A and B are shown apart, each in its own frame.
Chain A
Amino acid sequence: MSAAIEVQGLVKRYGELAAVDGIDFTVSKGSVFSFLGPNGAGKTTTVEILEGLRRRSAGQVRVLDLDPWTDGAALHRRIGVIPQDFRFFEKITAKEAIEYYRALFGTHADPGELLANVELLDKIHARFDTLSGGQKQKLGLALALTNDPEICFLDEPTTGLDPHARRAIWAVIRNLKREGRTVFLTTHYLEEAELLADHVAIIHHGKIIASGSPAEIIREYGRPERITVVGPPDLAQYLESHVGLPTTTDNGRISIELADKRDALRILSAIDASGLPWESFETSQETLEDVFVRLVGQMDEGALKQETPT
């Protein structure tokens, strides 16, 4: 797969502050790339530089082999963007909004079809100011697709939406990927990134602190998979001595870290062989959210320690 977006040494400074501090990443064509980070990490600045809305201070950026700042007009014909909290002309209906974009882009997009794609066909004649938050975001998504874009930039598209509306947007994003479009998704919801993204980059204080597929990030930065058995303290002692893996007990829940997947089978055999009673067992692994929270937390703690040496 060739690259849809290539970023090398990207820097954006506001006076002394580096909002984006030398980041590199590549987004493959046809993939869903999720850009994660806490508030103020540099996500929106980076996205706006990629969209050609903001000028970079240093570094190389190519989007569809174009420089977003100098080739903005050409790039905008090939990308679709939905900003956070999408706003539009209040008295204009969904159909009229799409007709407007269609005329500006010179395409033949069918408003009914586009609105059906985002599950908003029933609001085709509704004015923007009568739509709910989720419906407004869906209209933004439909507008972003009017020019049949190769890359869709979605900046926190589900923030503030109810679970049903959020799932509807996820379905649209999956559909975009099926259609072969590249999706650049920034989000606060780690679950969203884990479900949708092929590749994730975590940015914090303007630097990328982790990058890879969600599974790779969890594997690299997450704690090992564990098996948890509900049983008596005797069972905990038995398992620790017979399996030889670190074991902790908390309120009758015996938790054992797995060094290897096969360890799960060994533990199950040992439970059976112990002859001791047990109620249930489950395996669990850290989620992307757990990893994200820990990585960001560790960085902040590290920064704090550096600032206040003892």
Chain B
Amino acid sequence: MNFRHVGADYKIVARTYFRNPVALFFSLFFPIILIALFGLIFSATGSGPVTVDVLNEDHNSPVSEAFLSALNNTTVVKVSLVSDTSVTPSNFAAWLGQNDLPVGLIVPAGFEKDYLNRTSTNLTVFTNPQDASVTGTVLGAVQGVANGFNLASACGGRVCSPVISYTSRNVGSQVYTYIDYLIPGLIGFAILTSPMFSMVDVASSYRKDGIFRELSLTPLTRAEWLLSRTTWYVGITFVTAGIMIGAGIFLFSAHVQLNLGILPFLVVGPFFFVSLGMLAGSVARTPESAALIGNIITFPMMFLSGTFFTVSSFPPALQAFAHILPLYYVIDGMNQVMLFANASRALLDLVIVLVGGIIVFVLAIRLFKWRDE
């Protein structure tokens, strides 16, 4: 590996890039447009019952069980009791975030006693602001069941204050808005699209134009060439991530944690997708088929990896599909670092992306030929 070669090729990429207004626009301004667009006109869709993870601190009292059963009977939500004994009301929100669970409910200790004594008792509902429709559905269901219980306990026809009320909070360890969730998703979007679209095009058009043939006659090696491209896209990703975080903070007052833990994802992510783009471009015979292969790989990942909508809001089949997409692990890892401070899961995500990246890199180097047999 000759780093002088890598540096020389890096200069060529940088100059080509900065002299191409379209590339510049897509890398530097498009992220801001995306953040603004999704931040301003967010809408989400959802159907079917929403699973609500319930932490019942009133330990299976008949009234709390009746309440949860009534909630289940609304058919719009499905109650799932938390069996993990390490979960407490204080770490429940973080636990939901770390486990990708969109909705949670805490039934407080003394719920039955308070209800029967007609003393005020307060439920806590946790939702993910990225799922506006889910949030609305769950809050509506909880409100409806609580109203029913309040009516049943009404003071003999007299008007009295409702017994059961609820507080709505966000999943995660602090209060987040949709934009907070959107930032890691859109950084993932940039990590995917910039290298994939560009490398697929470069791999096929350089071969067609004979530029690889010319490079093969120089001492530049394929690994040096790929390293130069990877380094470039890592740099672009850093700039894009900076722009997105900056735009999120200044335009929408986002509360992301600026944690150094995000950096490995900004390196390993582009490494994976530069290699994957190169692989896709190498197996295609023409620039047209390369673009098609690139799109087939890129588009599902663009929308189903948690870029714009959290994966936990998908139907189960789509969720299973999302888990085979490499970008899911990049975005999930950044979510764990920037929102949920879950280092162990972030590390696991990172290892998955790194191992996958190494496999794809090796395959790309093997299939990407400077010269013909």
Task: Name A residues whose Cβ lies closer than 8 Å to a Cβ of B.
Answer: 48, 51-55, 72-73, 76-77, 79, 81, 83, 85-92, 96, 99-101, 103-106, 127
Q: Can you name 25 A-B residue pairings with CB atoms under 8 Å? A: A53-B371, A54-B371, A55-B372, A55-B373, A81-B217, A83-B213, A83-B214, A87-B210, A87-B211, A87-B214, A88-B211, A88-B214, A89-B16, A89-B211, A91-B16, A91-B19, A92-B12, A96-B12, A96-B15, A100-B9, A103-B4, A103-B5, A103-B7, A104-B218, A106-B219
Q: Mask for B1-33, Cβ within 8 A of A = 1, else 0? A: 000110111011001100110000000000000
Nearest neighbor of B5 in chain A, beta-carbon distance: A104
Q: Is the CB of B4 within 8 A of A91?
A: no
Q: Is the CB of B15 within 8 A of A104?
A: no
- Taking A76-B218, A103-B4 as given, write out 15 further A-B residue pairs in contact, using a Cβ cutoff of 8 Å, ordered by the A residue number: A48-B372, A53-B217, A53-B371, A73-B219, A76-B216, A76-B217, A83-B213, A85-B210, A88-B211, A96-B11, A100-B9, A100-B11, A101-B218, A103-B7, A104-B5
Q: Which of A48, A83, A85, A103 has the most CB of B within 10 A?
A: A103
Residues 216-244 of B at the A interface (beta carbon under 8 Å): 216-220
Cβ-based interface call for B209 (8 A): yes
Q: Is the CB of A104 within 8 A of B219?
A: yes
Q: How far is the CA of A106 from the CA of B8 in the complex (A)?
A: 11
Q: Is the CB of B220 within 8 A of A104?
A: yes
Q: Is the CB of A77 within 8 A of B15?
A: no
Q: Which residues of A contact B5 (CB under 8 A)?
A: 103-104
Q: Which residues of B contact A96 (CB under 8 A)?
A: 11-12, 15
Q: Which residues of A contact B12 (CB under 8 A)?
A: 89, 92, 96, 100
Q: Is the CB of A53 within 8 A of B372?
A: yes
Task: Name B residues whose Cβ lies closer than 8 Å to a Cβ of A.
Answer: 4-5, 7-9, 11-12, 15-16, 19-20, 209-211, 213-214, 216-220, 371-373
Nearest neighbor of B371 in chain A, beta-carbon distance: A53
Which 4 pairs from chain A and chain B are nearest by CB?
Answer: A103-B8, A91-B19, A87-B209, A104-B218
Q: Is the CB of A127 within 8 A of B219?
A: no
Q: Is the CB of A76 within 8 A of B219?
A: yes
Q: Is the CB of A54 within 8 A of B8?
A: no
Q: Is the CB of A106 within 8 A of B373?
A: no
Output the least CB separation between A265 and chain B (Å): 55
Q: Which residues of A contact B217 (CB under 8 A)?
A: 51, 53, 76, 79, 81
Nearest neighbor of A84 in chain B, beta-carbon distance: B210
Nearest neighbor of B224 in chain A, beta-carbon distance: A104
Nearest neighbor of B220 in chain A, beta-carbon distance: A104
Q: How far is the CA of A279 from the CA of B15 in the complex (A)?
A: 68
Q: How far is the CA of A105 from the CA of B5 in the complex (A)?
A: 9
Q: Which residues of A contact B209 (CB under 8 A)?
A: 87
Q: Which of B15, B210, B218 has the most CB of A within 10 A?
A: B218
Q: Which residues of A contact B8 (CB under 8 A)?
A: 99-100, 103-104
Q: Is the CB of A106 within 8 A of B211?
A: no
Nearest neighbor of B11 in chain A, beta-carbon distance: A100
Nearest neighbor of A85 in chain B, beta-carbon distance: B210
Q: How far is the CA of A105 from the CA of B2 in the complex (A)?
A: 11
Nearest neighbor of A146 in chain B, beta-carbon distance: B218
Q: Is the CB of A77 within 8 A of B219?
A: yes
Q: How far is the CA of A211 from the CA of B296 in the complex (A)?
A: 54
Which of A53, A55, A100 touches B216 (beta carbons < 8 Å)? A53
Q: How far is the CA of A24 from the CA of B132 in the complex (A)?
A: 77
Output the least CB separation between B130 and chain A (Å): 40
Q: How far is the CA of A104 from the CA of B10 in the complex (A)?
A: 12
Q: Is the CB of A127 within 8 A of B19?
A: yes
Q: Is the CB of A91 within 8 A of B214?
A: no
Output the least CB separation between A188 and chain B (Å): 18
Q: Which residues of B contact A92 (CB under 8 A)?
A: 12, 15-16
Q: Which residues of A contact B372 (CB under 8 A)?
A: 48, 53-55
Output the least CB separation between A258 and chain B (Å): 48
